[in-house]
Amino acid sequence: SARQTFMQIPVRNGPVVFSYEKRTPDRLGWILSGLALALFLWLRVAPRRWRPALACPLRRLSCPVWAVALRGRVLGRLRALSADRRVRIAAIIAAGLALLLVAWILRTHEQKSGFSLHKASVWVQARSGPQRCVYAFPERFICGRGHRFVGLELREIDKKVVRTIWAHPQADARINVEFPRVWISGPLGVHAGIADSGSGAPVPVRLTVFFDGRRIATTTRALVGQLEILEIPVTAYLGRSVDIRFEIESTQNAGRHFVFWPELR
């Protein structure tokens, strides 16, 4: 049955422009649809007497004997493969994996700053020792139940939807997100804050930035709905690749919906 969907967007005074643009997958869809339709017509609709003419455009000059023999061997092999159930199952699995790969590429290709989350290492430093977070497609690391994950999210901060990395602090533990071999090409700023969905007492969340294991900067965020930028001194690291690690901790985890977003400029 038909359903209505409402999209709520907080806006301020002034003009609001909505722009719907076709992306590469949309354009490829038309091409692939046309090819699929042509293949269907060829296999099911086109009269059999047309097929020899379409298969050999140089019909009047006759097809070379070697071409006819090669075509016969190829078609025979394809018929044998199509009749094998194992081949059909493998083809279905391969198609599913290809779709997942395309979805993953589309999900991650927009991040050009070197901070691609799927390349990061994420772990929780607890009293009992480090605990690795499990990568879950797409762009998410599971560190526990509920909010205990690190992932790429669209979150509302100060009534504006912002693309961020969600990293909810855990009690008596520190979350570590490390990006390997990031090329420092310019100034580095880290947007950090508490999302509008946060609540509870304004207990600060501490964010510490490490370059190759060395502490570079530290900041705290406590108020809900504020996203502030931390400027990282990178003069000594310009033109180099370094391992950048972000450590998040708080004395209280309830309602501390912490998010951050590193950006090289």
Look at residue 85 in the predicted model and tell me its pLDDT.
76
Is the confidence at residue 57, as pLDDT, over 60? no
Distances (CA, A) of 4 to 1, 7, 13, 20: 10, 10, 27, 19
| Selection from 13-22, 38-47, 143-152 with the highest mean pLDDT | 143-152
Work out the pLDDT band at 136, boundaries 50, 70, 90: confident
User: For residue 127, what pLDDT band results from cuts at 50, 70 and 90?
Assistant: confident
Label residue 42 by pLDDT band (50, 70, 90).
Answer: low
pLDDT exceeds cutoff 60 at 178: yes
> What's the confidence (pLDDT) of residue 55?
56
- Residue 20 binned pLDDT confidence (cut-offs 50, 70, 90): confident
Asked whether the predicted pLDDT for residue 80 surpasses 50, the reply is yes
Task: Give tens-digit pLDDT for 27-39.
Answer: 787 888 888 887 7
pLDDT at 1: 42
Residue extents of the structural domains in the chain: 24-108, 117-264
Tokens describing residue 188:
């580095």
Q: What is the pLDDT of residue 8?
A: 67
Instruction: Please say whether the structural domain 117-264 has been given the CATH code 2.60.120.
Output: yes
Q: How far apart are CA 247 and CA 126, in angstroms?
A: 12
Residue with the bigger pLDDT between 235 and 200: it is 235
Q: Which of these, 54, 183, 175, lies nearest to 115 by C-alpha position?
A: 183
pLDDT reading at 60 higher than 70: no
* Mean pLDDT over each residue of the chain, to the nearest integer: 82
Please give the residue that has the higher pLDDT: either 197 or 260.
260
State the pLDDT at residue 192.
95
- Asked if residue 140 has pLDDT above 60, the reply is yes
Question: What pLDDT sits at residue 149?
Answer: 92
Q: What is the pLDDT of residue 71?
A: 72
Mean pLDDT of 12-17: 81
Q: Which residue has the higher pLDDT, 25 or 157?
A: 157
Secondary structure of the chain in HEC code, one letter for each residue = CCCCCCCCCCCCCCCCCCCCCCCHHHHHHHHHHHHHHHHHHHHHHCCHHHHHHHHCCCHHHCCCHHHHHHHHHHHHHHHHHHHCHHHHHHHHHHHHHHHHHHHHHHHHCCCCCCCCHHHCEEEEEECCEEEECEEECCCEEECCCCCCEEEEEEEEECCEEEEEEEECCCCCEEEEEEEEEEECCCCEEEEEEECCCCCCCCCCEEEEEEECCEEEEEEEECCECEEEEEEECCHHHCCCEEEEEEEEEECCCCCCCEEEEEEEC
Nearest to 254, CA basis, from 195, 200, 192: 200
pLDDT for 47: 55
